[in-house]
Structure 1
């Protein structure tokens, strides 16, 4: 389980950059895994502060992204992995932009919304922006197209 924030201010999206599994730097939403017993609502607030320096108020639950896939497991057997990613909308209430030290991300920045399609990014970013734009009542997106 993980929780992520879509924070938009003045036409810009708050993002963090991390090194993906292939070693390529990619833009991600601020957020991450829940700790044992932690509410995803608290996770997103903690993760945004850790990764960007900002304090956020959660203003909406945009949706839950469920993904099931096979990952490399022990002894060359695939592991059946199921992830749940809570996507929240947030608003900055304090703090100052800074990079995370010793964490999973290396840089935090505001990016213009119109520049996002040209960034090297994870697929969750596109899904989260679609949730933010469409705001489906059930928090679930229908497949495009």
Structure 2
């Protein structure tokens, strides 16, 4: 089994009762809302990652203001040539505020739309689980920053 580790940083941006989300386009063409953010480049600080990724996906300049927590996921999936991947994702979640820029959609990236959604309607969106993790961390602010504990 091939082991894969992906470290990523994401932003929870809430303003005036609205949450900023980006619509992720999966490899199979399906689309679901997610937090702005993404994978760290080698040698990059997570703070810089979330700033870069949020701008790429939404057009906004953001400033991380609080480290909300860290979420860890693991799953297996089939790879080419009949092999299997053991995937481990480490997701660093910040609260961030918009400091500039203008809302726009990413082109030629992993997302195709960016939009503000009323907080009360987010749970009704077709979304990835990370959105719920981010909302829970933002609302509960667990002292240990563990997203797994935030849901209990």
TM-score, normalised to structure 2, is 0.90
Q: How does 1:3-82 map to 2 (within 5 A)?
A: 3-82=9-88
Report the Cα distance in structure 2 between the residues aligned to 1:54 and 1:42, rounded to whole angstroms: 14
Q: What residue in structure 1 maps to residue 4 of structure 2? A: none
**Is 2:131 aligned against 1:128?**
no
State the Cα RMSD in Å. 1.4
Instruction: Give the C-alpha shift of residue 72 in structure 1.
Output: 1.5
Aligned partners of 2:34 and 2:128 also within 8 Å? yes
Report the Cα distance in structure 1 between the residues aligned to 2:118 and 2:90, rounded to whole angstroms: 27
Structure 2 SS opposite 1:117: helix
What is the total number of aligned residue pairs between the two structures?
Answer: 145
Instruction: Give the C-alpha shift of residue 23 in structure 1.
Output: 2.3
TM-score, normalised to structure 1, is 0.94
Q: What residue in structure 2 maps to residue 112 of structure 1? A: 118
Report the Cα distance in structure 2 between the residues aligned to 1:45 and 1:144, rounded to whole angstroms: 26
Instruction: Give the C-alpha shift of residue 2 in structure 1.
Output: 0.5
Q: 1:100 to 1:144 in 2, by over 3 A?
A: closer
Q: What residue in structure 1 maps to residue 101 of structure 2? A: 95
User: Aligned match of 1:85 in 91, 106, 123?
Assistant: 91
Where has structure 1 moved over 6 Å in runs of 4 or more? none
Report the Cα distance in structure 2 between the residues aligned to 1:130 and 1:69, rounded to whole angstroms: 22
Instruction: Give the C-alpha shift of residue 73 in structure 1.
Output: 2.9
Report the Cα distance in structure 1 between the residues aligned to 2:38 and 2:151, rounded to whole angstroms: 26
